[in-house]
Amino acid sequence: QPQLVESGGGLVQPGGSLRLSCAASGFSLDDYAIGWFRQAPGKEREGVSCISFSGGTTSYADSVKGRFTISRDNAKKTVYLQMNSLKPEDTAVYYCARRDYFCSPDVKDFGPWGQGTQVTVSS
């Protein structure tokens, strides 16, 4: 019943921008921290960004600091990831997942995984 659905991925040129959306249903989004993760072919899944239940704290991987911004709108039951100055190494499937209230540095602390949305950065 509870689910998170990612959208907004696509093909973009280096230096371009995309905004990903994570739409929640079947649960109260304002009780959960939401993290964004990505996985490239042949590589381990890695954390990208996270936002606490209230939006009061955010965190970013060093590789995306200054380029990506996470935000949430609990009334719309949606979390966003604004991605600017995209690089080819950002190419991956992007996922969102939940954890009770606060963010964690451990990807294993987050909930079940969906299908994600593909982001491809190429000229």
Q: What is the pLDDT of residues 44-66, one digit of tens each?
A: 999 999 999 999 999 999 999 99
pLDDT at residue 61, as a whole number: 97
pLDDT at residue 100, as a whole number: 96
Please say whether the beta carbons of 94 and 81 come within 8 A: yes
pLDDT at residue 66, as a whole number: 98
With a CB cutoff of 8 Å and minimum separation 6, the contacts of 98 are: 4, 24, 27, 32, 33, 34, 35, 110, 111
pLDDT at residue 113, as a whole number: 87
Task: Render pLDDT for 72-114 as a digit per residue (tens, 0 to 9).
Answer: 999 999 999 999 999 999 999 999 999 999 999 999 999 888 8
